[in-house]
Structure 1
Amino acid sequence: MLLKKRSCWSSLICILFLLTGCWDRIEIDQRGFVIGVAIDYSHISKHKFKGTYQIVVPSGLKQSSQGQRGSGSSGKAYFNLSTTENSMPAISARLAARTSRTPYFEHLKIIIVSSEVAKDDKIFADLLDFFLRNNEMRRSVQILIADGKAADILDIPTFNEPTPIDYITSIARNDRKTNYMLPESRIGDVHEFLVKHESFAIQTVRLEEKGVSMTGSAIFDGKTKEFVGFLQGEETQGLNFVTERVKGGIIEAKIKDHTFAFRAERTKSKITMQQFSPTKFKFNIKLATEGVLDKSMSEYDPSNSEAIKDLEKSLEDVVKANTLKVIKKLQQTYKKDALGLGAFLYENHYKLWKPIENDWDQGLNIFTQSEINVQAEVIIRRIGNIIKTTKE
């Protein structure tokens, strides 16, 4: 009986060692919640990085919720902390030694990389690798390319948001209101492009007077992983139409010297291909969009069926022109297929794609030699509210 009791107690003691505990627990009031990271080259040396972290101040957030907005109150809802080191792990380690609260990345929202840093293929890949490996970070973290210094973006006025990062996050979600910007670029999506060796586009951000602008996009080579250049707003609109990423927004066109606006509600892109030789391709891209007139003209009656056709034709010309503009820039200037035509061949014509995959937008660069035609169809489903015309 005694032997049995001893055996029982021994088993219980052994089980205690197997139980999980909170030996590494950090209290919430001791954490430094990092919500934004900006990465630049050091002004001292291009071999060093300047990392800037935006860290939330909980007491400042409370004041903001009570009407005392972040940058306008004495108790800001955030503070920025910068340091210079040779690598991102070293930057994080050094910043941990400079703040009373342990940097915590689970609430990280945005990573901003300066275009100067992104131009170096090895460095950009290493930066992404650091964030992807960190078990505190999520693959939904947004990544932006700054046209200028990334750290400057974290110092913008916050307006009606508690922190600059919250302000930028709100703008980044406005792709339903404007098609001159890309949808949010998540680090997980960027990682997939790099793994597939597909060229791609990332959201951009640049300083403007009293704020920022996020129109346009940054083009990357999926093979070398380097930033190659920017697209402007109209070119990004054309790219969005081809890649079916238009969620809304306005298209402006002119007819009889009058400007009118069309709000896109549904869009579709269809790609077909013809092959004339192993390295000669012809692509036909048909774009279709439906929506409603968002602005009428006092001297033009859109309730007339012929007038509607004229308006649709003007809109089709704009969509086609902006799409051809981005195609020309990608083929002749950047020589990178951010349109997804290579992905189209891989998914729909794999036997044709396999022999040329290494020469698509590298090597022989078959992409630049391909003929790409564009058709656009715009349907005005509703004319909306109109004012009186001169005929009345």
Structure 2
Amino acid sequence: MNIEERGFVVGVAFDLAEEQSGDSPMITMTNQFVVPAGFGTPSEGGNSSEKPYSNLSVTGQSLFEMTREMATIQGNAPYYEHLQSIVVAEELAQEPHMFENVMDLLIRDPEMRRETRVVVSAKKAKDILEIEPTLEPLPAMHINTVNDNIDRAGGLIQPLRIGELNEYMLEEYNYLIPIVRAFEDRIIFNGAGIFDGKSNQLVDTISGLEIFGVNLITGKLKGGFINFKAKDEKMVYEIKQAKSNIKIEADQTDHITIDIEIDTEGNIAETFGGRSLLDENYMEVVNKHLREEIKHQVTDILKKGQEEIGMDFFGFSKIMREKHYKTWEKIKGDWEDGKNIFQNATINVTVENTIRTVGTTNRTKDLKRSE
């Protein structure tokens, strides 16, 4: 197939159709095609008044048939080798088997890049492909641009790569996918959806603060801030790096013990009190309260996973499979069902912090006192 016969797709969105008929749900599929004429200057043959993309939506029950219909309308076949982003509406992902069926076709497509990112849209998925970002010509690429800042925000998770999704679906691991919203000319990451690894259905959501706790547990936290109090004085701790070590004691298959050790390193970025952070005794008190706050955030999301949702979305099942394979093969059917081994597991959390520096605000206060 010649390049002129291909319609390069950089983004795909899936929504439940506004009008439904028959027993099978109708899907609206939106492709974002690149329009080369929209790039460059008029002297280069480009048209600055033309958008560098066009969105085309079709509705049906079969993705294969919808793709063929797009080829008829567009005049060239959709080509997915350069696909950057897949956006799935939250209401579609909540329907039984819908997310699994939609993603299965894309995963099996030999043209599909394993690095293509998947996100969930809180509202209409196609709205994400219709925003007009100021710094990025293609809305589908804007998701990747926003993604660059995730390492600095502890309450966010990376969009799930389709290669990772394929692994989770094969191994039936539960997984998280970030939720996005369209806001004016930009995309906002806002929480995450929890997907059941057996049904691949969106079953619940967690907030940004809860994601922070998950990232601390999984060791994926790259940075971020924690607000806490030490003797009624508000403080902000900036995390520069964090590590997590998880050990699972699986000798007693009916009662699993999970030990989580979390180590962070950072600095007190801001204080709202008059106490000196150069006082070692006071810093011990500060560190104690900081440990308690971090442990509180971690245990809160663990409790929600065990007691409220009843699902392991922390990767413990993957650790069991990798470190205790024989035991895992015996108990995996009872991990979240039957004997509810995960829900009844004992989880111990220990936290250690290394506070390297203190904020300049406090140093200024101490200098003034010494004058």
TM score, norm. by length of structure 1: 0.85
Kindly indicate whether residue 29 of structure 2 is the aligned counterpart of residue 48 of structure 1.
no
Q: Which residue number in structure 2 is paired with residue 57 of structure 1?
A: 35
CA distance in 1 between partners of 2:145 and 2:283 (Å) = 35
Give the superposition deviation at 1:307: 3.1
Kindly indicate whether residue 17 of structure 2 is the aligned counterpart of residue 39 of structure 1.
no
Q: Which residue number in structure 1 is paired with residue 138 of structure 2?
A: 163
Equivalent position amino acid for 2:230 in 1: I
Contact (CA 8 Å) 1:56, 1:77: kept in 2 or not?
Answer: yes
CA distance in 2 between partners of 1:154 and 1:60 (Å) = 16
- Listed one character per residue, the Cα deviations across residues 76-134 of structure 1 (whole Å, up to 9, x for unaligned) are 22221111011211221111111144322111100011122112342222212111121
SS state at 1:280 partner: coil
CA distance in 1 between partners of 2:163 and 2:207 (Å) = 24
Kindly indicate whether residue 345 of structure 2 is the aligned counterpart of residue 367 of structure 1.
no
Quick check: 191-200 or 308-317, which moved more? 308-317
Structure number with larger C-alpha Rg: 1
Equivalent position amino acid for 1:55 in 2: F
Give the superposition deviation at 1:237: 0.6
Match of 2:148 among 145, 164, 173: 173
Q: Which residue number in structure 2 is paired with residue 25 of structure 1?
A: 2
Contact (CA 8 Å) 1:63, 1:75: kept in 2 or not?
Answer: no
For residues 217-232 of structure 1, what are the structure 2 equivalents within 5 Å?
217-232=192-207
Contact (CA 8 Å) 1:298, 1:388: kept in 2 or not?
Answer: no
- Listed one character per residue, the Cα deviations across residues 169-226 of structure 1 (whole Å, up to 9, x for unaligned) are 1112322110101123101101101111111111221234553321321111112221
Contact (CA 8 Å) 2:236, 2:270: kept in 1 or not?
Answer: yes
**Misfit runs of 4+, over 6 Å:** none
Give the superposition deviation at 1:281: 2.0
Contact (CA 8 Å) 2:194, 2:313: kept in 1 or not?
Answer: yes
Contact (CA 8 Å) 1:111, 1:143: kept in 2 or not?
Answer: yes
Equivalent position amino acid for 1:51 in 2: M
For residues 108-187 of structure 1, what are the structure 2 equivalents within 5 Å?
108-187=83-162
Give the superposition deviation at 1:60: 2.0
- Listed one character per residue, the Cα deviations across residues 315-343 of structure 1 (whole Å, up to 9, x for unaligned) are 22222122112112211222111111222
- Shift in CA distance, 232/89, structure 1 to aligned 2, threshold 3 Å: same
Match of 1:288 among 249, 263, 268: 263
Quick check: 248-257 or 262-271, which moved more? 248-257
Give the superposition deviation at 1:256: 4.3
Give the superposition deviation at 1:266: 2.1
Contact (CA 8 Å) 2:233, 2:271: kept in 1 or not?
Answer: no
Quick check: 270-279 or 319-328, which moved more? 270-279
Give the superposition deviation at 1:298: 6.1
Contact (CA 8 Å) 2:234, 2:273: kept in 1 or not?
Answer: no
SS state at 1:300 partner: coil
- Listed one character per residue, the Cα deviations across residues 372-392 of structure 1 (whole Å, up to 9, x for unaligned) are 222211211222534521634
Contact (CA 8 Å) 2:88, 2:121: kept in 1 or not?
Answer: yes
- Listed one character per residue, the Cα deviations across residues 221-264 of structure 1 (whole Å, up to 9, x for unaligned) are 11222111111011101111111111122222233444332222
Kindly indicate whether residue 65 of structure 2 is the aligned counterpart of residue 90 of structure 1.
yes
- Listed one character per residue, the Cα deviations across residues 125-152 of structure 1 (whole Å, up to 9, x for unaligned) are 2212111121221111000111222111
SS state at 2:114 partner: coil
Q: Which residue number in structure 1 is paired with residue 276 of structure 2?
A: 301
CA distance in 2 between partners of 1:82 and 1:200 (Å) = 29
CA distance in 2 between partners of 1:137 and 1:224 (Å) = 23
Q: Which residue number in structure 1 is paired with residue 172 of structure 2?
A: 197
- Shift in CA distance, 59/313, structure 1 to aligned 2, threshold 3 Å: farther
Contact (CA 8 Å) 2:131, 2:184: kept in 1 or not?
Answer: no
CA distance in 2 between partners of 1:352 and 1:114 (Å) = 38
Q: Which residue number in structure 2 is paired with residue 335 of structure 1?
A: 310
CA distance in 1 between partners of 2:285 and 2:110 (Å) = 56
Q: Which residue number in structure 2 is paired with residue 15 of structure 1?
A: none
Q: Which residue number in structure 2 is paired with residue 388 of structure 1?
A: 364
SS state at 1:352 partner: helix
Match of 1:233 among 200, 208, 226: 208
- The gaps in structure 1 that reach 5 residues or longer are 1-23
Q: Which residue number in structure 2 is paired with residue 358 of structure 1?
A: 333
Contact (CA 8 Å) 1:261, 1:293: kept in 2 or not?
Answer: yes
Contact (CA 8 Å) 1:330, 1:338: kept in 2 or not?
Answer: yes
CA distance in 1 between partners of 2:32 and 2:359 (Å) = 44
Kindly indicate whether residue 77 of structure 2 is the aligned counterpart of residue 102 of structure 1.
yes
SS state at 1:318 partner: helix
CA distance in 2 between partners of 1:62 and 1:257 (Å) = 57
SS state at 1:388 partner: helix
Contact (CA 8 Å) 2:214, 2:314: kept in 1 or not?
Answer: yes
- Shift in CA distance, 365/311, structure 1 to aligned 2, threshold 3 Å: same
Equivalent position amino acid for 1:366 in 2: I
Contact (CA 8 Å) 1:359, 1:366: kept in 2 or not?
Answer: yes
Equivalent position amino acid for 2:262 in 1: L
Equivalent position amino acid for 2:332 in 1: E
